[in-house]
Copies of this chain bind each other. A is one copy, B any other.
């Protein structure tokens, strides 16, 4: 199994509410529409146990393979042109 772990840092002008709404309404359905993506979850960072906070959210994607995922992303970019 391959996972992608992504750190998301919000831009100062974006609130958590706005980001979560965008995630629910757009990002989640787009990403999970990729055939290579088995699951996608967004975790809110509420606590940092060591070091400095470097992310507002951590995304975890389970994917079939990196090659398949990158191909899906390329297709998406192409279709959105």
Number of interface residues of A (CB under 8 A): 9
With beta carbons under 8 angstroms apart, the residue of B47, B58, B60, B66 that contacts A47 is B66
Contacts of A3 in B (CB 8 A): 43, 58
Q: Mark A4-18, 1 if CB is under 8 A from B, else 0.
A: 110000000000000
Contacts of A5 in B (CB 8 A): 5, 43, 58, 60
> What would 6 more interface pairs be, CB under 8 Å, given A5-B60, A47-B66, A60-B60?
A3-B43, A3-B58, A4-B49, A5-B5, A5-B43, A5-B58
Q: List 7 A-B contacts (CB under 8 A).
A: A3-B58, A4-B49, A5-B5, A5-B43, A5-B60, A47-B66, A60-B60
